[in-house]
């Protein structure tokens, strides 16, 4: 049984949000590195660097989790409505976590940009 279109759309949305989060975190790391080069002992900048690095790890973990969900749905010859429902709920939860992290990282990045 092919993966339902609603599940595919949710997977695509999570992937899109993860890519945007990765971009924000990469830009934040770049900004933080510049500031740490000038103010290496600044605890706040060190915290920002750790937050952006954690976001990058989060992105990689979520991408693996997403691939696992899709793989589990794909390899099953007969996917029940319950399994599809569970996958949809898992994906919706992941999307929520990704969006929350994206907001936090976006706010941190904006704070850094305002300092320059």
pLDDT (tens digit, 9 = 90+) per residue, 27-68?
Answer: 999 999 999 999 989 999 999 999 999 999 999 999 999 999
Gap between the Cα atoms of 99 and 101, Å rounded: 5
Q: Is the dihedral of CA 7, 12, 13, 18 positive or negative?
A: positive
For the chain, give the percent of residues with pLDDT over 70: 96
pLDDT at residue 78 tops 80: no
Give yes or no for a contact between 35 and 45, defined as CB atoms under 8 angstroms apart. yes
pLDDT at residue 4 tops 80: yes
Gap between the Cα atoms of 12 and 2, Å rounded: 16
Residue 30 sits at the vertex; the CA angle it makes with 29 and 35, to the nearest 5 degrees, is: 95
Collect all residues with Cβ–Cβ distance below 8 Å to 17 and sequence separation of at least 6.
95, 98, 99, 102
Both structure tokens of 48 = 């920002």
How confident is the prediction for the chain on average, in pLDDT? Answer: 92
C-alpha separations of 26 from 41, 43, 110 in Å? 21, 20, 13
């Amino acid at each position: 049984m092919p993966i339902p279109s609603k599940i595919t759309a949710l997977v695509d949305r999570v992937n899109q949000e993860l890519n945007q989060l990765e971009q924000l975190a990469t830009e934040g790391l770049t900004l933080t590195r510049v500031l740490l080069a000038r103010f290496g002992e600044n605890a706040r900048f060190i915290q920002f660097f750790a937050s952006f690095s954690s976001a990058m790890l989060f992105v990689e973990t979520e991408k693996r989790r997403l691939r696992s969900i899709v793989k589990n749905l794909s390899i099953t010859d007969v996917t029940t409505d319950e399994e599809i429902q569970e996958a949809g709920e898992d994906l919706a939860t992941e999307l929520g976590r990704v969006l929350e992290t994206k907001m936090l990282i976006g706010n941190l990045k904006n704070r850094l940009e305002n300092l320059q």
